[in-house]
Structure 1
């Protein structure tokens, strides 16, 4: 596996639910022949949210340092407890919204843990992502506030500029609720799920409800939008999510590929499938397999894969630019390439924004949105200046 460090290779080998005798023998052979940086392996396992898989796979293997195994066990137990609490909390949230006749769906982490992963403890979840209709966004927000949830500081500023401004400028808001000591339950309440940016494309609850019979396929579309387009496949658990969403499920591949092409996500999806096969041996229809087995997909996968090696996720400012570059590189149609370029600019100029100056969060309304271009430019230049001592 040229180009990959031993730690990344090891994490990929650990992605299994019930390690077979052959898999354990393969890992033992690998460990005998390879020097592992155990501190870096732990850091990468945490970053890629793979501690449950890693602990499950290596807990009974010989030659694993005791200190490493103890740390891994502690991390696994903490994430499992956190996951159970969040799942219980989501079920209460689901009932609360249903009792108030608020149509909604969950997607990403909590949905996958509940419906796709064979062991719920193997999917480490962060925020609870819930999609409602735009007309229900404030009804839902007020309902959550009545149950001790609070808006984030950033979204409070948008809210104070008017409800309509919030709905048009943003696609989601974050709310949090104190649970214990410094622990919080966090909800990302969406009324649109953006594909690349607000001017390019978005998915709402009506899109989902109007495509009855394609619930599995739509979850794949939403996942590729978030994991592939927005987050440039930069964490290995994104691949696991895609695998468990597809594995042993009835998929209308013709409809799914058509939707991926429609939104310019076909190659990004194929890259995800390529890794699902490399890590999990996912079986694909021959028509899709032919698309995966092309040099252009393998080359694109290699460029994404370089992001796995970093101990930290790609910085937000760099990630925004990488979204643009990777999405543009994945296109074959000039019309979509042009739309990507145009919307990359327009979605960042004519919009409201917030900036942090010292400890104070400053809000700039849409009418002054062009000013934010200069502020971003100054901030970007400042980042490249040598640090003063």
Structure 2
């Protein structure tokens, strides 16, 4: 499937900004008929507004869309400074309390991969905590003034919410919020695992933490985080993933063979292979012959056009299809469905209310109620809200 003009603009902007490609093709694309509203939604979904802004600067494209990107990039720079300062403070706080907590993804990539350039879009501060220290670290953040970002419609106390978080299968992170001293809202994504139980990636979690509980800042650690999240959890469905991959390859000095060794140890050889083939085909203009792999590359390219992840059931199904196509070793549908069933059949205190919540022993009824509630929210309730 040929990409839309809007997605072509985003792809070419990444080439100009991240790969120093000539600007002539981007300038031609910007002269065509463009749905600027759709382009704005797509660049927001793919989280590459600073990259596109820099590329538009290169071609001297000045319009309303450009001004919005300019403002967002300025806010991103301010946010990066605020979160960097807050991160340093928090890491000192955790270290004083002998808790193993390290930066994860965005803020770490900005420093180590992008070398503090204001190119990577991020909205929060990701922290990765050792599972054994998770509860203590969470309570420490609450004592520091952060508040849990959960659907606390039952008005429960923090102890009950936290207990539910760690008892419910499939929950591996929670959000927290706090207004900083300079008036910027800092949102923390607090992770105590980097993959759900359903993902069979072979991660050596201990290797992320050195003997002092600080991050092991090796290139292997950075790439493991990148591949697990971008390739494994999100299946290369956002263009930001490729900006990170390009930046990593440029700055790390690691060869493709080095990356393949890491992917093999993780059990993610195909996740990497497809990511690299998309990089070759879509960004480096390398011709790829037709094969079975071409189909999943096409599916991922089609997903870029959607600009939404979990808004509808059909989007989830398309995403799941891509995930299954990328597995090194196929898992049985039975195991996959069983894991999903276990998660959906277990009520917890922070989820959106089900139409009916049965006691925990009634797994099948809770599963049915969860599915019906999802369909109801995405159809009937959504229509009522729109009208």
Name the CA distance, whole Å, in 1 between partners of 2:216 and 2:256: 13
* Structure 1 residues without counterparts, runs of 5 or longer: 284-288
User: Residue by residue, what CA displacement relative to the aligned partner does 1:303-327 show, whole Å, maximum 9, x if unpaired?
Assistant: 0111212344442755544443222
> After superposition, where does 1:1-389 map in structure 2 within 5 Å?
3-15=2-14, 16-17=16-17, 23-32=22-31, 34-62=32-60, 64-154=61-151, 160-161=159-160, 166-169=165-168, 170-179=171-180, 183-195=184-196, 197=197, 200=200, 203=203, 205-209=205-209, 215-251=218-254, 256-257=259-260, 260-261=263-264, 265-281=268-284, 295-315=291-311, 318=314, 320-331=316-327, 333-335=329-331, 339-350=335-346, 352=348, 354-357=350-353, 366-382=360-376, 383-384=378-379
Q: Deviations over 1:263-293 (max 9, x none)?
A: 653323222222333455399xxxxx9xx86
What are structure 2's unaligned runs of at least 5 residues? none
**2-side partners of 1:364 and 1:223: how far apart?**
39
How far apart are the structure 1 equivalents of 2:67 and 2:277? 34
The 2-side partners of 1:363 and 1:82 are apart by 40
Deviates more, 1:268-277 or 1:122-131: 268-277
Taking structure 1 as reference, are residues 152 and 237 closer, same or farther at Cα in structure 2, changes over 3 Å only?
A: same
Deviations 1:6-35 (A, max 9, x none): 111111111133785x61233234444x32
Q: What's the TM-score once normalised by structure 2's chain length?
A: 0.80
User: TM-score when scaled to structure 1?
Assistant: 0.79
Verify the 8 A CA contact 1:17 1:53 in the aligned structure 2.
yes
**CA-atom RMSD in angstroms:** 3.9
Which of 1 and 2 has higher RCO (CA within 8 Å, sep 6+)?
Answer: 2
CA distance in 1 between counterparts of 2:190 and 2:368 reads 30
**How much does 1:76 deviate?**
1.8
Q: Which stretch of the first structure deviates more once superposed, 45-54 or 329-338?
A: 329-338
Q: Aligned partners of 1:263, 1:362: CA distance in 2, in Å? A: 40
CA deviations on 1:42-64 (whole Å, 9 max, x unpaired) are 332222222212221222535x3
For residue 68 of structure 1, report the CA deviation from its aligned partner. Answer: 3.1
**In 1, are the aligned partners of 2:237 and 2:300 still within 8 Å (CA)?**
yes
Instruction: Specify the SS of the correspondent of 2:102.
Output: strand
Deviations 1:184-217 (A, max 9, x none): 211122221114x457558574253499989423
SS at match of 1:114: helix
Which stretch of structure 1 is more off in the superposition, 37-46 or 249-258? 249-258
1:295–1:214 CA distance, 2 compared to 1 (3 A): farther
Q: C-alpha distance in 1, partners of 2:45/2:12?
A: 16
CA-CA distance at 1:148 after TM superposition:
0.6
